[in-house]
Chains A and B, each alone.
Chain A
Amino acid sequence: NAGVTQTPKFQVLKTGQSMTLQCAQDMNHNSMYWYRQDPGMGLRLIYYSASEGTTDKGEVPNGYNVSRLNKREFSLRLESAAPSQTSVYFCASSTASSGNTIYFGEGSWLTVV
């Protein structure tokens, strides 16, 4: 009963490096999301995918790209990491049949130095 699985859990990057955060859900949900969480600012939406084959920008998309690889997987890519992207990243998923409740993964801690 994994739910939403994210990898890696911890990562340290140097400024300018690139990396991809992976996310997979096993709940057959249609919609998937990437949020970031910073102290005092709550969770902010980066990108979301309403269904397989579609992606849209959220509140803070600059510096990120996403890929909805299939119904289960939704990856987040940082092309050229910046210290401002130091944060905790959460992947999440939802579907209408579950009342559109969003279920979260355990988080990925990213530090850019």
Chain B
Amino acid sequence: EDQVTQSPEALRLQEGESSSLNCSYTVSGLRGLFWYRQDPGKGPEFLFTLYSAGEEKEKERLKATLTKKESFLHITAPKPEDSATYLCAVQETNDYKLSFGAGTTVTVRA
């Protein structure tokens, strides 16, 4: 059974203070690892898909990386508008369903 664990549960940052979120996973075969952003009262919004170890993707102040056992979401010089819950999910080989972690709630103070 897939297992996805995100840490920390919550992260409070000062504006401009860079940090990283961790997503560790256990699957028999990885088809893709997905990152989503979720704002309060909204549905998850797709950010990135990573398919193989060593792959990196960037979007504005966010950069996602992937190893064989975990993924990191790096937030560089965050702004208050980066405050959200970030969700990690895995998709197993020969499947299309996603298994989600519990998320990391990021709060960026001005």
Contact = CB atoms under 8 A, between A and B. Distances in A.
A101 B97 contact: no
A94 B97 CA distance: 9
Interface residues of A, number: 26
Given A101-B34, A105-B43, A106-B42, A42 B98 contact: no
Contacts, number: 52
B46 A58 contact: no
Secondary structure call for the B interface: strand
Nearest to A39: B102
Contact of A43 (B46, B87, B96): B87
Interface string B53-79: 000000000000000000000000000
Given A42-B87, A43-B100, 15 more contacts: A41-B102, A42-B101, A43-B87, A90-B43, A94-B96, A96-B96, A100-B32, A100-B91, A102-B46, A102-B98, A104-B43, A104-B44, A104-B45, A105-B43, A106-B43
